[in-house]
Chains A and B, each alone.
Chain A
Amino acid sequence: MTIATDDALAAFATTATSAVAQCAGLDPRGRARCLAEAGLIGVLAAEASGGLALGLDHAVPVLHAAGAGLLGYPLLESMLLAAALGERPEAARIVLGDATATIAWSGGAQLEGGLLSGTAGRAPMADSADLVLVRLADGAALVDATGPGVIIDAGDGLDLEAAECRVILSGATPLALLDGDAMDAILQGARLLWAAAIGGAVETCLAAAVAHTSTRVQFGKALVSFQSLRHAMARQKLAAEHIGAAIARSLMHPDDRLARAAAFAAATRFGASAVESALQLHGGMGFTWDIPMHRHLRRIRAWDAQGDAPGLHRRLAADLLAANA
Chain B
Amino acid sequence: MFYRSHVLVCGGTGCTASQSNEIIKQFEKLLEDNNIENEVKVVKTGCFGLCEKGPIVVVYPEGATYSRVTPDDVKEIVSEHLVKGRIVKRLLLGEKEAEDVSKALEDVGFFKRQHRIALRNCGVINPENIEEYIAREGYLALGKVLTEMSPAQVIDIIKKSGLRGRGGGGFPTGLKWEFASKPQADQKYVCCNADEGDPGAFMDRSILEGDPHSVIEAMAIAGYAIGADKGFIYVRAEYPIAVTRLNIALKQAKEYGLLGRNIFGTDFSFDIEIRLGAGAFVCGEETALMTSVEGKRGEPRPRPPFPANKGLWQKPTILNNVETYANIPAIILNGPEWFSGIGTEKSKGTKVFAIGGKINNTGLVEIPMGTTLREVIYDIGGGIPNEKKFKAAQTGGPSGGCIPADKIDTPIDYDNLTELGSMMGSGGLIVMDEDNCMVDIAKFFLDFTVDESCGKCPPCRIGTKRMYEILEKITEGRGEDGDIEKLELLAKNIKASALCGLGQTAPNPILSTLRYFRDEYEAHIYEKRCPAGVCKALLRYVIDEDKCKGCSLCARKCPVNAISGELRKPYHIDQSICIKCGACMETCKFGAISKV
Q: Do A and B bind each other?
A: no
Residues of A near any B CB (own CB < 8 A): none
